[in-house]
Amino acid sequence: MATSKSLPIVWFLFLAVFREAALKADARAFFVFGDSLVDNGNNNFLTTTARADNVPYGIDYPTKRPTGRFSNGLNIPDLISEAIGSEATLPYLSPNLTGDKLLVGANFASAGVGILNDTGNQFFNIIRISAQMQYLEQYKQRVRFVTSKYACCGQGPYNGIGLCTPRSNLCPNRDIYAFWDPFHPSERANRFIVKNILAGSADYISPMNLSTIMVLDAAENV
């Protein structure tokens, strides 16, 4: 499934991520791009023939079942995650990639792709490298806040009762919460709001953002 055209990009991107993770203790989000050498199940969620969802694939995997990995067991990303003491990344298309799992990173790889978009033309409906990059941007949007369901500080179900007090439950990482208390955004959420007030597109602020208003106002006063 791996082609001579696909190998350079697979290994370049893969090792670049490994180097970043290995050299920085806090750089634990692990991102995988490439083809069947590193795909850990994305193609299972696609209508394509480039899949490893049948036996004997996975015969030596802990579950003894096929997982979408083109291997008898663990593949390269699994073993690198194991070596750096990190949880294995989930396929980006997996419905289980939510909440804290997003902080581990994501695997965007798709069997059959290559460095060029015309590589793997014999396979339909695979995630080509350009699409993998687009999925990375979507991932960044998702990771801005891991949860908006729970408040960081509060009490009761979802920390949703009353205001924040010295006796309230307090989350350890405020940056992944959209709400500080049951009623008010966290600082990070406020920063995101202000960013869109200042420079957001019409999808977020209408008829124009504050920067545009200030430019127009300055032009009128020249």
Catalytic-residue membership of 36:
yes
Catalytic-residue membership of 175:
no
Given 35, 39, 78, 181, the catalytic residue: 181
Given 130, 148, 184, 201, the catalytic residue: 184
Catalytic-residue membership of 181:
yes
Identify the residue whose tokens are 């670049």. Answer: 16
List C-alpha distances in Å: 111 to 8, 63, 69, 129, 199: 15, 21, 9, 11, 38
Other C-beta atoms lying within 10 Å of the C-beta of residue 155: 17
Beta carbons of 180 and 174 less than 8 angstroms apart: yes
Given 36, 81, 94, 186, the catalytic residue: 36
Catalytic residue numbers, as ranges: 36, 181, 184
